[in-house]
Structure 1
Amino acid sequence: MVVFLPGLICDATMFTPQVAFFSDSRAIDGYKNADSMEEMARIVLDSAPERFDLFGHSMGGRVALEVFRQAPERVRRFAISSTGVHPRKEGETEKRHALRQVGYDHGFEALVDQWLPPMIAEQNRAKPEIVHPLKEMCMAAGQDTFDAHVRALLGRPEVESLLPQIMCPTLVMTGELDQWSPPAQLEAIADQMPNAELVVVPGAGHMITREAPEAVNAAISDWLARPAD
């Protein structure tokens, strides 16, 4: 089974095209307002089969790394998409808190309207079939979930040292036009993983699973075809 892990204010609908395509798969429908990577990983492990293939998108990539830290023997194949492994950057706390304050001052929709568009490739921002489901998903999360996810991201543990330990078949993927997780960042991550294949999806931004589902599904199919112990 493939277990998909969503990112910041995302839920299982982030992977609707993937769950529809891969019959033996499921997506975690959020993290119950958990506010640490460790707690999020425990939620995943409590609901996952004994052995599974793991795919984490964006913040979900960091959750996936924490899942591997806690239970490496349960992960059969490993994939991360549109994510990072760097520690908290200078000014990151202030930027995340400023965005959070937009929600307090102007309502959560104003926060989503500021945060979401840069996550989508510019050429896709006028496509309602992409934008409307993503906005609806984010709005359903709400301010409390955003706040909890921000606390988890700001308190994230070190993960870069885990990369060389992941020996199973590994997929590292991002969109060609992803401003938050650009190809060079994911290439550097893949270079540290012994059995990683890097896939850069043309024309896609950060919300890659909804912007380019056919290309993403093709990459996942190739990944799942790789023999795993």
Structure 2
Amino acid sequence: MDKVPLILLPGTLCDERLWEMVNLSDLADVKVCNVSKADTIEGIAKSVLEEAPDKFALAGLSLGGIISLEIMRIAPERVIKLALLDTNPNPPQPEQITGWERFIEMANNGQFLDITRNYLLPVLIHPDRRNDEALVSKIIDMAEIVGKEGYINQLKAVMTRSDQRPILAAIECPTMILAGKEDRVCPVHMSEFLKENIPAASLEIISHSGHLSTLEQPEKVSAAMRKWLSGN
């Protein structure tokens, strides 16, 4: 069986390691794209499309899901399957913008890594995993690799993103929605909304997982994504 070309898009402050434990290599030719190359969602989406084959399956987590929805807006004919993991289709809220502006100020004042350690980690992962040194270390390492400038690009992109809810009904390709049951960043009701508004969508809820489901429950996410890729 020919392998499916698969583009994977990480979330904010994440790199290819977000996906490294998701076992898809026997089913797909996998490419993980950089999601910090521009400071708008459209700009990042266009950079992904420049790297992608003519037709491909697409999966994104969080920021990666937002970028995936933008790709569905500007080039839906190129996407054969879509997976949205822990994704929020809503426009940014005023309190979110205020928080992101504060993080940009902190990053520019030499406190970039403090943001991940002290502000993001407590809400990103399931409470039971907060003392998991290997997991915490990986998250911090990814943030260091993305770096301050990449992070600021990502924050500017999400601060200016548009409401993506109006495009959902036009998505025609087979779509899987996946959510960590204990996700505090993108609560399950957001994934339920996606399921209800995308015509060909299914929903997978991953138990005992926060926002970074691919790192927290890789075996469960792998099983769900293999089913999605195989069409079973």
Question: Normalised by the shorter chain, which TM-score bucket?
Answer: over 0.9
Q: 2:71 aligns with which of 43, 47, 67?
A: 67
Q: Is residue 175–residue 202 contact of structure 2 (8 Å, CA) maintained in 1?
A: yes
Deviation at 1:210, TM superposition (A): 0.6
Greater than 4 Å deviation, 4+ residue runs = none
Which of the numbers 20, 25, 32 marks the counterpart of 1:22? 25
The separation in 2 between residues aligned to 1:31 and 1:170, in whole angstroms, is: 21
Report the secondary structure of 2:89's partner residue.
Answer: coil
Q: Which amino acid aligns with 1:124?
A: R
TM-score, scaled to structure 2: 0.92
1:140-185 C-alpha deviation (Å, 9 max, x unpaired): 1111111111110011123111111111111001101100111112
Aligned pairs, how many?
226
2:107 and 2:227 mapped to 1: Cα distance? 41
CA RMSD of aligned residues (A): 1.5
**What whole-Å deviation, never above 9, does each CA across 1:119-150 have from its counterpart, x for those lacking one?**
01111111123221111001111111111111
User: What is the identity, as a one-letter code, of the residue corresponding to 1:207?
Assistant: L
Verify: 1:81 aligned to 2:85, yes or no: yes
1:29-40 matches, within 5 Å, as 29-40=33-44
**1:31-50 paired onto structure 2 within 5 Å:** 31-50=35-54
| Counterpart for residue 205 of structure 2 | 200
Aligned 8 A contact 1:173 1:186 in 2: yes
Q: Which runs of 5+ in 2 are unaligned?
A: none
Identity within the alignment, %: 28
- In the superposition, the TM-score normalised over structure 1's length comes to 0.93
Match of 1:218 in 2: 223
Change (3 A) 1:210 1:136: same
Within 5 Å, which residues of 2 pair with 1:54-203? 54-113=58-117, 114-203=119-208
Q: Which amino acid aligns with 2:100?
A: R
> 1-side partners of 2:58 and 2:159: how far apart?
23
Q: Which moved more, 1:93-102 or 1:162-171?
A: 93-102
